[in-house]
Chain A
């Protein structure tokens, strides 16, 4: 509105300092805590040029969000901020609130992670956008509302004239995040900081919101700091990327350099621990061993050294500086303004060369004499597994022949009644959570159930376990019809069917010791105490924890370790089937890989069958034998993992696959995209005929009027298209979206 003339040089990349919009130098943030000062951010420096996009990646606790909050002046008062951050040349660190609020939202704006909580529930979205305009411009309310309307159009909200008068709870998550983006754009800022802007959203919606962000940025010419843990999102949307670890920037450079030629073992490890859509199944993930450091007890020297396979003495003694490597392989200092430099904080960054992650972070202990230092716990897990496989040789013999079906689901339906609010609680409608699902789970296989939130995948898992009763349909396990059993009759069968939960923090009783937690299922099923004790030890070993961990409480463990405890509990009764409900989605990438590997090992050695419920197609592609894709309570496509990812035939599956960002800058920017529009319709009122038709790109763009009629009137059946690959689309057509090798 006011500074359009300044922004005309967008697109050019002059090397001077005059186009620097954000300059951060030696920024440190310390929080006081009961256990002493907590250094959340340590000496972070970077510059951001006009119109540029910088990604900052890191796991939880790496300090990536705190850095941005410090720049915005939004940290709690007790935080100590040192160093400097300049927005358009003006220092903002230490600025008084009245002064910094003139810059905030005006020259530098921020987008937060959770769109469901970012907007005030008691004001209309129009008011909340207009408020941002009025905070910095002396215009009338009418003018501000007009501007709000323009902004809603800009971020791609349909029917903005109606939306502007609505309250946040009347909008979906994706729409709300667009509103937040509109607020950030309101005053045409020079810098936008987006802190995990799409983490809380489903993938297809994520793609839409990222597009809206791009469009809005193009319109205003703002520079972007994109903070995320998702390397795929970074690969597709930024020019440069910085990697943070333990409160420090440990690597920074142009996005291709960092992704293809990482100079810091952590960045390499992070890339290696990602399950990838563009790789075939079977390759083992290479997790980074150990856990991210506690900021209260940072190791001396390099913060990554305890987990680093390359670490030598100097790494444990001296913290490396962020330096570039010149042509001669010397580590040299470059000015922070040099935005083309590739810098890394590693004493041996020159030696990393072309190393592949699996060479450095080997996941097994076979090569005991190599540089690989295995975590003691991982080793114990290996040994425990070896013992089991020695004693139980029968488990791998029969892999050749056709696996037997052990769990069958037929025409499963679950409707939740919607009741009126009055005294009478009349039934006014139904949420059709699951609408006729049929599945088989075979012995020792992993069947993945994938779909976006609200598609009914978790409800299906709960129905299978008979934790809730189906409206109709059948569930049978080893020929026994579970849906007819009383809770008492069901009990002995529960030994065989166990569940691992999504949230490792909420699923363990904080007042019970780890031993008690793991022993509880055995106690319920009447095993003696001494018996259970021995078994707990065995189980702890099995999941890579040590037996002395048993006397501790859940809060003493990290997320990954807690999930291992949850898995140990599920294994306590020697189950045959595990239902895994998003078991790794709450974990950081480097930790997630370890848990995935553990699940794969356990399946191999114990002969388990997995029903793997997930929204993450990359993980599914890595772990599953077969996949069923769900949309609004129905299965739309199912087949072997290999087949389904190589040649998806349902438009929804195609859209899902193409919406998942690949952690590869070139592939991500050049791949073919199938974009779906809008949000998932309410399961209380699903569309007639094909439930996907309202968002289907094929329905919208390719089909003729007469062809569409069929989609509207006739619900498609799940039809076999050969070799067990089935889809529910009247006009299905195979499409190859992924090329299966890393460039």
Chain B
């Protein structure tokens, strides 16, 4: 098992390197960070542009810049991933990309984590119920909800949820749901109970919005996987042994049906991270999604690279965890 894990971890290194190259090249060729400056009317002084080019290292060749971006050797101390620096920002001299990310990562992770857990839990529940009662009313209802959720765009559904939250608040007369902001400022100085109610108020709606598509696709997946296992020979044998139905379902069906879901969830993390861009925009959270949107607007290439690389790392790590989990869950994997 240890050998397997070590092998998997080592296997991610070349993938990480490849991801960094792709990230760098894609952003680098996709636009000139100084295009706005150059287009200004009246044209700015060439020395101003030159100064900016020098600050953003645009005066060097692409391979040089990649090397600089990764190692920071030959830079001004504001660049070099290995030194913990993400590079200079176009937005202002004082905009520290690394510090920004560190600040916003917690905000986004809170949302992503909650949404993932909720989506996974509900998807397993819905999938199992659907499979156990195939072609029943509840199966059809869950199927309908699933496809509805898949087909609703986040920005639209987000708006609806906000409206619903406001309406609910009006109805009960107090503010149960907050519809704007991440609530971190408001939570400062509160006691534990205060922080819990604060989290509930601010997180409920965005979490529901963010988890919706993942829940829908995972529940469909879990249903199929569960159906396959329920019709398998070994579940039939488990029944033939005389095990009570609930034991058969829990121990033999669900346990095995969860194995393929780990891969789907690992791949699905990318979707959830992407989803934060829209969700944070709708609910005006100052998380990584908002960071990304600002970076795009400001043509801030080093910030974009940082965001992309970070998403890439999250996906790679998620897959690594899924691979290792797979080894734990399925004894056949370790030996093959």
List the A residue with the shortest CB-CB distance to B248: A101
Give the contacting residue for A132; candidates B236, B241, B256; CB below 8 A.
B241
B-facing residues in A89-121 (Cβ within 8 Å): 97-98, 101-106, 109-110, 112, 114, 117-121
Q: Using Cβ atoms and an 8 Å threshold, which residues of chain B touch A135?
A: 241-244, 247
A-facing residues in B228-252 (Cβ within 8 Å): 232-245, 247, 252
A86 at the interface (CB under 8 A from B): no
Q: Decide: A421 and B336 in contact? CB cutoff 8 A.
A: yes
Interface string of A165-181 (1 = CB under 8 A from B): 00101100000000010
Minimum C-beta distance from B333 to chain A (A) = 10
Q: Decide: A120 and B242 in contact? CB cutoff 8 A.
A: no
List the A residue with the shortest CB-CB distance to B253: A120
B110 at the interface (CB under 8 A from A): no
Q: Decide: B233 and A114 in contact? CB cutoff 8 A.
A: yes
Interface string of A421-463 (1 = CB under 8 A from B): 1110000000000000000000000000000000000000000
Q: Using Cβ atoms and an 8 Å threshold, which residues of chain B touch A132?
A: 241-242
CA–CA, A81 to B6, complex, Å? 55
Q: Using Cβ atoms and an 8 Å threshold, which residues of chain B touch A589?
A: none
Selecting from B26-34, B77-85, B167-175, B324-332, the interface stretch reads: B324-332
CA–CA, A422 to B3, complex, Å? 12
Interface string of B296-336 (1 = CB under 8 A from A): 00000000000000000000000000000000011110011
Chain B interface SS verdict (over half) = helix
Q: How large is the interface on B (under 10, 10 to 19, 20 to 34, 35 or more residues)?
A: 20 to 34
B43 at the interface (CB under 8 A from A): no
List the B residue with the shortest CB-CB distance to A187: B242
Q: Using Cβ atoms and an 8 Å threshold, which residues of chain A touch B153?
A: none
Minimum C-beta distance from A426 to chain B (A) = 13
CA–CA, A328 to B255, complex, Å? 63
Q: Decide: A101 and B330 in contact? CB cutoff 8 A.
A: no
Q: Using Cβ atoms and an 8 Å threshold, which residues of chain A touch B106?
A: none
Q: Using Cβ atoms and an 8 Å threshold, which residues of chain B touch A72?
A: 240
Interface string of A40-62 (1 = CB under 8 A from B): 00000000000000000000000
CA–CA, A105 to B11, complex, Å? 46
A596 at the interface (CB under 8 A from B): no
Q: Decide: A167 and B331 in contact? CB cutoff 8 A.
A: yes
Q: Decide: A118 and B244 in contact? CB cutoff 8 A.
A: no
List the B residue with the shortest CB-CB distance to A116: B233
A183 at the interface (CB under 8 A from B): yes
Q: Using Cβ atoms and an 8 Å threshold, which residues of chain B touch A117?
A: 232-234
B74 at the interface (CB under 8 A from A): no
Q: Decide: B241 and A105 in contact? CB cutoff 8 A.
A: yes
A478 at the interface (CB under 8 A from B): no
CA–CA, A39 to B239, complex, Å? 24
Give the contacting residue for A136; candidates B232, B242, B332; CB below 8 A.
B242
Q: Using Cβ atoms and an 8 Å threshold, which residues of chain A touch B245?
A: 97-98, 101
B14 at the interface (CB under 8 A from A): yes
Minimum C-beta distance from A128 to chain B (A) = 8
Minimum C-beta distance from A70 to chain B (A) = 13
List the A residue with the shortest CB-CB distance to B11: A423
Q: Decide: A131 and B243 in contact? CB cutoff 8 A.
A: yes
Give the contacting residue for A122; candidates B233, B242, B330; CB below 8 A.
B330
CA–CA, A132 to B237, complex, Å? 10
Q: Do A122 and B239 contact each other (CB < 8 Å), given the known contacts A117-B234, A423-B11?
A: no
Q: Decide: B330 and A121 in contact? CB cutoff 8 A.
A: yes
Q: Using Cβ atoms and an 8 Å threshold, which residues of chain B touch A119?
A: 234, 237
A74 at the interface (CB under 8 A from B): yes
List the B residue with the shortest CB-CB distance to A115: B233
Q: Decide: A180 and B330 in contact? CB cutoff 8 A.
A: no
Q: Do A112 and B238 contact each other (CB < 8 Å), given the known contacts A122-B255, A169-B331?
A: no
Q: Using Cβ atoms and an 8 Å threshold, which residues of chain B touch A110?
A: 237, 240
CA–CA, A170 to B336, complex, Å? 11
Q: Using Cβ atoms and an 8 Å threshold, which residues of chain A touch B332?
A: 121, 167, 169
Q: Decide: A120 and B335 in contact? CB cutoff 8 A.
A: no
Interface string of A658-676 (1 = CB under 8 A from B): 0000000000000000000
Q: Using Cβ atoms and an 8 Å threshold, which residues of chain B touch A103?
A: 242
Q: Decide: B244 and A104 in contact? CB cutoff 8 A.
A: no
B-facing residues in A180-194 (Cβ within 8 Å): 180, 183, 186-187
CA–CA, A120 to B243, complex, Å? 14
B7 at the interface (CB under 8 A from A): yes
Which of B7, B233, B238, B242 has the most CB atoms of chain A within a 10 A radius of its CB?
Answer: B242
List the A residue with the shortest CB-CB distance to B232: A117
Q: Decide: A101 and B244 in contact? CB cutoff 8 A.
A: yes
List the A residue with the shortest CB-CB distance to B4: A421
Q: Decide: A423 and B240 in contact? CB cutoff 8 A.
A: no
CA–CA, A136 to B335, complex, Å? 34
Minimum C-beta distance from B104 to chain A (A) = 34
Q: Using Cβ atoms and an 8 Å threshold, which residues of chain B touch A423?
A: 11, 14
Q: Using Cβ atoms and an 8 Å threshold, which residues of chain A touch B11?
A: 422-423
CA–CA, A135 to B11, complex, Å? 44
Q: Using Cβ atoms and an 8 Å threshold, which residues of chain A touch B233?
A: 112, 114, 117-118
Q: Do A101 and B243 contact each other (CB < 8 Å), given the known contacts A121-B256, A122-B329?
A: yes
Minimum C-beta distance from B282 to chain A (A) = 42
List the B residue with the shortest CB-CB distance to A133: B241
CA–CA, A98 to B248, complex, Å? 12
CA–CA, A382 to B37, complex, Å? 90
CA–CA, A119 to B259, complex, Å? 16
A-facing residues in B102-156 (Cβ within 8 Å): none
CA–CA, A109 to B237, complex, Å? 10
CA–CA, A103 to B240, complex, Å? 9
Minimum C-beta distance from B176 to chain A (A) = 43
Q: Decide: A101 and B242 in contact? CB cutoff 8 A.
A: yes
Minimum C-beta distance from A13 to chain B (A) = 28
Q: Using Cβ atoms and an 8 Å threshold, which residues of chain B touch A105?
A: 240-243
List the A residue with the shortest CB-CB distance to B332: A169
Q: Decide: B336 and A104 in contact? CB cutoff 8 A.
A: no
Q: Using Cβ atoms and an 8 Å threshold, which residues of chain A touch B235?
A: 120
A-facing residues in B158-202 (Cβ within 8 Å): none
CA–CA, A583 to B233, complex, Å? 27
List the B residue with the shortest CB-CB distance to A124: B331
Q: Do A104 and B240 contact each other (CB < 8 Å), given the known contacts A117-B234, A167-B331?
A: yes
Q: Decide: A180 and B244 in contact? CB cutoff 8 A.
A: no
Q: Decide: A102 and B331 in contact? CB cutoff 8 A.
A: no
Interface string of A396-425 (1 = CB under 8 A from B): 000000000000000000000000011100
Q: Using Cβ atoms and an 8 Å threshold, which residues of chain B touch A186?
A: 241
Q: Decide: B7 and A183 in contact? CB cutoff 8 A.
A: no
Q: Using Cβ atoms and an 8 Å threshold, which residues of chain A touch B329?
A: 122
CA–CA, A170 to B7, complex, Å? 22
Query: 30 A-B contacts, Cβ less than 8 Å apart?
Result: A72-B240, A97-B244, A98-B244, A104-B242, A105-B242, A105-B243, A112-B233, A112-B236, A112-B237, A112-B240, A114-B233, A117-B233, A117-B234, A118-B233, A119-B237, A120-B237, A122-B256, A122-B329, A122-B330, A131-B238, A131-B241, A132-B241, A135-B244, A136-B242, A170-B335, A180-B237, A183-B237, A187-B242, A421-B336, A422-B7
Interface residues of B (CB under 8 A from A): 7, 11, 14, 232-245, 247, 252, 255-256, 259, 329-332, 335-336
Which are the 5 A-B pairs with shortest beta-carbon distances?
A105-B242, A105-B241, A117-B233, A104-B242, A120-B234
13 further contact pairs, Cβ within 8 A, besides A101-B242, A102-B242, A120-B252: A98-B245, A104-B239, A104-B242, A110-B240, A117-B233, A120-B235, A120-B256, A122-B259, A131-B238, A132-B241, A167-B331, A169-B331, A183-B241
